[in-house]
Structure 1
Amino acid sequence: MPELVTPTPDVRASFLLAMAEFRAEGRGGSTDNSMIGREHREYAATWDTPEGFAAYVADLRAAAWEETPRPEGFVPSTTLWYVESAEYLGRLAIRHRLTRFLLDIGGHIGYDVRPSARRRGYATAMLRAALPVVRDLGIDRALVTCDTDNVGSRKVIEANGGTFEDERNGKLRYWVAT
C-alpha cells in the first residue's frame, strides 16, 4: 500500500526513473519554475551518486526548519514522498505559511505524480494523507491551487473537500479544511 514518507535515499533508483519521465514530458527545463524544475536545475548533476542523492534528501528535510537559509520569498516547506516499497510514485510539498505569491498562485500544498503512475488515484490519496500533517503545522484551512486547464488536479482538490474561491493569474484557488 503506498504511503507518504519523509524523503529517503532508499528510493533513489526509482526516483531517478521518475525524474527521467518528468524530463521526457518537458519538465525540469530553464523555464520550469515548479518544484521539479528548480530541484532538477540545482541537484540533478549530483543525483547519480549515493552521496549526492543523500545530500539532496538532507536538504529537502532541512527545508522544513525555520532556521534553514532559503532564497528570498521562500518559506519553510515540508516535502513528503509517496512511495510503495522502494517505488517512488510522487511528491507533495507543504508550505508552512503563505506569502503574497503563494496566496495568489502557489498555495500551501503542491504535488506531482510521476507520469507512469498517473490516473490511479494517487494524487487524491496523497492530498488526503497530507491533510493531518498540514493540520499539525497549525494550518486549519489549506490553500490548494491548480492551472485552469488541469481538470485532473481540480478533481483531486474537489475530492478532498476543496471549496472553490476564485481564479487568479490562470490558477483556480481552493480552500481545503484540514
Structure 2
Amino acid sequence: MPRLIAPTADLHSAWLEAHAEWGAGLHEDGFGLEASDEVGSPEGFAAWVALLTGASGAKSAATDGGCSYRWIVEGDRVEGGIALRYGLSDQVTEFGHIGYGIRPSSRGRGLATWALGRMLDEARVLGLDRVLLVCEVDNLGSVGTIERNGGVLESVRDTGHGPARRYWIEL
C-alpha cells in the first residue's frame, strides 16, 4: 500500500536506488533536486532533506511562497516524489502548482494518479481554489494522470524547453 511521507534521511539508500533508475541528470520531478545538491553522501543527503523539510510547512497560499515535498513510498522502496508549490512565484507560473515523478519501473500502476489526488487534498487545506499543472505535450502518462484528477486543458504553449500542456484543476 503506497504512502505519502515527508522526505527523510532514513531512506537515503532507497532514494539513491530510485534516483539511479532515472539515469544521469535532473529529471525526477517532485523531488526538488537541484544541480548543486550533493545527495551521494549521508551528510549531504541529510542536509538536502533538511532543506526540503524546511521549505515545507503551513504558509498562507495567498501571500507566501513555499513548497511541500512528499515521497511516494511502498514498504522501504521510494517509488517517486510529488511537490505542491504555493504562492505566486515564477516557478508556479512556469511549472505549475504540482509536479511529480514516478521511477520508471513503477510507472503504469496508478501511483501518480493516487499521489496527485492526495496532494489536491493538501492544496484544499492550504486554501487554494484551483491548481495549475504543466506537462510536456507528449507525456501521455501525465496527461492521463491530470485528466483522471479533473484537469481541464487551458492551452498548449512553448516553454522554451518545448511545448507544454497547461491544465487547471478546480478544487
TM-score, normalised to structure 2, is 0.84
> Which of 139, 164, 167 is equivalent to 2:153?
164
Q: In the TM superposition, what are the counterparts of 1:71-82 in structure 2 within 5 Å? A: 75-82=65-72
CA distance in structure 1 between the partners assigned to 2:91 and 2:14 by the alignment: 32
> Which of 88, 108, 114 is equivalent to 2:103?
114
User: Higher helix share goes to which structure?
Assistant: 1
Report the RMSD for the aligned CA atoms in angstroms: 2.4
Q: How big is the shift at 1:140? A: 1.2
Query: Which residue of structure 1 aligns with residue 25 of structure 2?
Result: 27
On the 8 A contact 1:2/1:83 being kept in 2, the answer is yes
User: Gaps (5+ residues) in structure 1?
Assistant: 68-74
Q: In the TM superposition, what are the counterparts of 1:27-66 in structure 2 within 5 Å? A: 27-28=25-26, 39=33, 41-44=35-38, 46-49=39-42, 51-64=43-56
3-state DSSP of counterpart to 2:92: helix
Identity %, equivalent residues: 38
Query: Which residue of structure 2 aligns with residue 6 of structure 1?
Result: 6
On the 8 A contact 1:98/1:107 being kept in 2, the answer is no
Query: Which residue of structure 1 aligns with residue 84 of structure 2?
Result: 94
Q: How big is the shift at 1:98? A: 3.3
Paired AA for residue 150 in structure 2: G
Query: Which residue of structure 1 aligns with residue 170 of structure 2?
Result: 177
Query: Which residue of structure 1 aligns with residue 134 of structure 2?
Result: 145
TM-score, normalised to structure 1, is 0.81
User: Gaps (5+ residues) in structure 2?
Assistant: 60-64
CA distance in structure 2 between the partners assigned to 1:100 and 1:53 by the alignment: 27
3-state DSSP of counterpart to 1:17: helix
Q: How many residues align?
A: 163
3-state DSSP of counterpart to 2:37: helix
